[in-house]
Amino acid sequence: MRTLFALVTLTTMAAPLAAQGWIEPPVAVLGNGVSKIRTAVHVTVSGRIAQVEVEEWFRNDGTILGEGDYLYPLPGEAVFSNFSLFQGDQELRGETMDAARARSIYEEIVRRKRDPALIELVGHGMVRARIFPINPGETRKITLRYTQVMERAGGALHFQYAAGSRHDGTPRPIRDGAVIRPSRPADIPLSFVLEIADGDAFRDPFSPTHGVEVERRDGRIRVRPEGNLRGNFALFLPLARGLVGVTMATHKPSEDPGYFMLTLSPGDADGESAPRDMTVVVDVSGSMSGEKLDQAKAALRQVLGSLGERDRFRLIAFSNMVSTHSRDWIEVSERTLRAARRWVDGLNADGGTNIAGALREAFRLESDESRLPIVLFLTDGLPSVGEENPERIAQQAEQLRNRARVFAFGVGYDVNTYLLDRLTAAGRGATEYVEPTEDVERAIGTLATKIQHPVLTDLEIDDVPVRLSEIYPLELPDLFAGEELIVFGRYAALDHDRAGALRLTARRAGRTERFTTDVTFPAHQLGSDFIPRLWASRKLGHLARQIRIEGHSADLEREIRETALRYGLLSEYTSYLVQEPEVVAADALRAGSIAMFQSANARRASGRSSGAAVPASPPVGRKAVQAAERQRVQREVASAADLDRLEESFADEATGLRLVAGRWFRPDRDMWIDTAHRGSASVVEVEIYSKTYFDLLQALPELERWLTELESVLIAGAETSIKFVAERAPSIEGNALARLVQEFRGH
């Protein structure tokens, strides 16, 4: 095993399977020293056409002539034309292949090199051309130019780019239990710029896969990805037509229900935004004294500064008693704002926490249909004056709330997450938890800016050509100028494509308006594989909040666990190790100090009968606040980059474990073991790089996320786990393969 590991590592280092194109030497050639040193991608958009130019520099650091095929991945379902390829000034004769034809080539390279870095490109098309030999010590540039016809996605254009993997080799354990982590070379420099000449024809582009920087200058738009560009890059360019741009993207990989992503882009504010009735409620109990009160005062001044001339406002402070700046709504003017700031300056922190009384006062006044009522509620403590029962406080607030939108801020760890989450769940708002080291002013100031100009309220999906289900968020929030609203959901399994009109209804400045865009729901489409995991994250965040509000049940826990396992996401019920103490001790002696963290909830769940409720977790304290904030991020996740940041927040909690696509893996001899695997689950062995291996990748595309990073690995499924081994294993075909897929997914 040591020899094989060293050979694979050296082979990979010599011919890295890196981002964009690479040079694949002939099978019989050894010692090829050609490697890529830089890539530059420039895309120019005109109408629906994207002109793509890729420049890549290769250097031969070997001692013999470098030769082979230049291979370049193409997004699987995009349309290409006007293809040209040059090595320096010499034109190369190349060919393009669709995804089906290219698949066998990708699989053969993966199988021959015994390295999984190309697995994520299986399903993409390919450009292939034989290059001229590169002399030892020589650097040559290869230039690829092609035209991509961008697909319509509702009221937007959809651009795709296959960046591929950007690493060489992966850590692999060897038989004595020690984990060898081969050094990874620095990322190959990559510059990527997309320019739109007619920038006024588009709203701001956005990406559900990567963070992007958008710059407008002289009527042009320039887009750059943030940080390193890895994997498949998707970019949507909303057309600047009408009040709101509507973007629809879909993903339909099998006979199961499909996935969709609906994005509403309102653009900048105009005179049609709804006037607001803003009520700000701030806790001034004794625990708010000092820096917290200073930050809260600064935040209140920011809110006052965000008010428009047609808005009205109220200010409420509470401790033992509830005090108001005014009993009635106040019109915005320079005089009234000066008076309000003086009132804020005079606030002092003292006494207890009368949350029930503050909420009664906040909801006392109603607003007419033409105005949007918003309540900002800030507290750092538990109810200690008046009604103290969180359930009764929440019930009273829901009875009084009427149309008000509620946004809450819990400061520190002494807040009741159940109460705050329930208030905002019913009020089309959100709760943000501000930890002791974080800035209250920043959190409230960010929200005040976001909700400054309401464009559409009371949004609903009115009509659609297919049946939709599991839509998140469950209740569509209001749409504010400059802020995109992204909705994820499922649509019914289809036997043929369905096209038609998607209609939305909403209120705008007191009147009902309808918006329509033409959409297509395909029976099969693989172009947007980022959607399922984003949808699943939203679902997990919703289910976790449901448990927080309604209490634990085995059914909800099982749904969270199965969703997290299938889509490779983190949850309280999957990021754990279940092992006997003697096994933990043996592993520690063999592999060194490994942080084994366990989940008592998960252990209890394994022996619990379906539908049996168990006591809810305490809603107060550091763990409760951090879990509630993590669930909020899950519910609001909008891009794969958001998911990466969420996973990174877990990464510091484990030593000796490896986090890959939402799951923790521990080294065990020559394998990586999914920590979600239960000892009682059945295990099916599959030979690495065999026909069954690639058939499974096609049937279970979710495996790709782990198999591109780990070679010999056991991956836990809902009912059956799959163990990928180097040794020969029986092939699995036909009904047996279909049954394995069902058992892995649990349905």
Residue 710: closest CA among 677, 678, 663, 676: 663
pLDDT of residue 494: 86
- DSSP per-residue codes, 671-725: EEEETT--TTSEEEEEETTSHHHHHHHHH-GGGHHHHTT-SSEEE--SSEEEEEE
Specify burial of residue 680 (Cβ count, 10 A radius: 0-12, 13-18, 19+): exposed
* Size of the chain, expressed as the number of residues it contains: 747
Q: HSE (CB half, 13 Å, CA atoms) of 687?
A: 10
- 639, 210 contact by CB (below 8 A): yes
Residue 377: closest CA among 322, 457, 452: 322
- 314, 326 contact by CB (below 8 A): yes
- 283, 377 contact by CB (below 8 A): no
Tell me: do 266 and 363 sit in the same domain: no
Task: Give the CATH number, domain containing residue 48.
Answer: 2.60.40
For 176, 613, 656, 668, 669, the CA distances from 179, given in Å and listed in that order, are 9, 42, 9, 9, 9
Residue 353 maps to a domain: yes
pLDDT of residue 310: 92
Q: What are phi and psi of 439, to 5 degrees?
A: -100, 120
Tell me: do 147 and 290 sit in the same domain: no
Specify burial of residue 464 (Cβ count, 10 A radius: 0-12, 13-18, 19+): buried
pLDDT of residue 432: 92
Q: Would you tell me how many other CB atoms lie within 10 Å of the CB of residue 62?
A: 18
* Cis check: omega of the bond before 75, within 30 degrees of 0: no
pLDDT of residue 508: 85
Residue 577 maps to a domain: no
Tell me: do 42 and 105 sit in the same domain: yes
Distance separating alpha carbons of residues 75 and 248, to the nearest angstrom? 18
Cα-based torsion angle of the residue sequence 742, 743, 745, 747 in order, rounded to the nearest 10 degrees: 60
The enclosing H or E element of 92 equals: none
Tell me: do 292 and 360 sit in the same domain: yes
pLDDT of residue 607: 36
Q: For residue 358, what is the DSSP state?
A: H
For 381, 404, 424, 577, 720, the CA distances from 354, given in Å and listed in that order, are 10, 20, 18, 43, 52
Residue 684 maps to a domain: yes
Beta strand segments in 123-266, E: 125-130, 139-149, 151-152, 156-164, 172-173, 179-180, 190-196, 212-217, 220-225, 231-238, 245-251, 258-265
Residue 694: closest CA among 673, 724, 720, 736: 724
- DSSP per-residue codes, 528-541: -TTHHHHHHHHHHH
Task: Give the CATH number, domain containing residue 522.
Answer: 2.60.40.1230
Spell out the residues 6+ positions from residue 32 whose beta carbon is closer than 8 angstroms to its own.
14, 15, 25, 62, 64, 66, 67, 68
Q: Would you tell me how many other CB atoms lie within 10 Å of the CB of residue 318?
A: 28
CA 3 from chain centre, in angstroms, equals: 39
Instruction: Provide the number of structural domains found in the chain.
Output: 4
Spell out the residues 6+ positions from residue 325 whose beta carbon is closer than 8 angstroms to its own.
314, 315, 316, 339, 340, 343
Residue 126: closest CA among 164, 156, 158: 164
Mean per-residue pLDDT pooled into runs of 10, the chain (747 residues): 28 41 75 83 94 93 88 75 88 87 88 78 86 92 92 89 55 36 55 93 92 93 88 89 86 87 79 85 94 91 93 96 95 96 94 95 92 94 91 92 93 92 86 88 89 90 93 91 91 90 88 88 84 93 88 87 83 50 34 28 34 55 87 89 77 64 84 87 93 91 87 90 93 93 84
Q: Is 366 helix (H, G, I), strand (E, B) or coil?
A: coil
> Measured on CA atoms in the order 530, 532, 533, 539, is the torsion positive or negative?
positive
Residue the block writes with tokens 């964009």: 20
Distance separating alpha carbons of residues 491 and 157, to the nearest angstrom? 22
pLDDT of residue 159: 93
Tell me: do 229 and 324 sit in the same domain: no
Going by their DSSP bridges, the two strands 276-283 and 372-379 should be labelled as: parallel
Tell me: do 334 and 416 sit in the same domain: yes
For 93, 118, 177, 202, 630, the CA distances from 487, given in Å and listed in that order, are 45, 31, 45, 21, 19
pLDDT of residue 718: 85
Residue 543 maps to a domain: no
The enclosing H or E element of 399 equals: helix 390-400
* Encoded amino acid at 184, one letter: R
Task: Give the CATH number, domain containing residue 444.
Answer: 3.40.50.410
Distance separating alpha carbons of residues 485 and 245, to the nearest angstrom? 10
Tell me: do 204 and 295 sit in the same domain: no
Structure tokens at 235: 């970019």
Distance separating alpha carbons of residues 178 and 708, to the nearest angstrom? 21
Tell me: do 165 and 314 sit in the same domain: no
- Domain hosting 479: range is 245-270+454-529
Q: For residue 239, what is the DSSP state?
A: B
- DSSP per-residue codes, 29-89: --S--EEEEEEEEEEEEETTEEEEEEEEEEEE-SSS-B--EEEEEE-TT-EEEEEEEEETT
Using the 3D structure, point to which of 403, 435, 450 is the last residue of a domain: 450
Using the 3D structure, point to which of 529, 562, 595 is the last residue of a domain: 529
Distance separating alpha carbons of residues 426 and 474, to the nearest angstrom? 11
Distance separating alpha carbons of residues 155 and 518, to the nearest angstrom? 8
Tell me: do 290 and 182 sit in the same domain: no
Q: Would you tell me how many other CB atoms lie within 10 Å of the CB of residue 178?
A: 11
Residue 740 maps to a domain: yes
For 177, 186, 734, the CA distances from 668, given in Å and listed in that order, are 6, 28, 32
Residue 431 maps to a domain: yes
Tell me: do 9 and 155 sit in the same domain: yes
> Measured on CA atoms in the order 56, 59, 65, 71, is the torsion positive or negative?
negative
Tell me: do 217 and 303 sit in the same domain: no
pTM: 0.81
- 464, 320 contact by CB (below 8 A): no
End-to-end CA distance of the chain: 37
Q: Would you tell me how many other CB atoms lie within 10 Å of the CB of residue 635?
A: 21
Cβ burial 490-512 (10 Å sphere, 16+ → b, else e): bbeebeeebeeebebebbbbeee
For 333, 343, 690, the CA distances from 110, given in Å and listed in that order, are 68, 69, 10
Residue 354 maps to a domain: yes
pLDDT of residue 549: 85
Using the 3D structure, point to which of 393, 421, 450 is the last residue of a domain: 450
Q: For residue 176, what is the DSSP state?
A: T
Q: What are phi and psi of 394, to 5 degrees?
A: -65, -40
Angular region, 100: left φ>0, alpha ψ -120 to 50, beta rest: alpha
Angle value at C-alpha 403, between 540 and 477, nearest 5 degrees: 35
* Encoded amino acid at 625, one letter: V
Tell me: do 334 and 200 sit in the same domain: no
For 17, 690, 718, 745, the CA distances from 687, given in Å and listed in that order, are 22, 6, 21, 20
Residue 631 maps to a domain: no
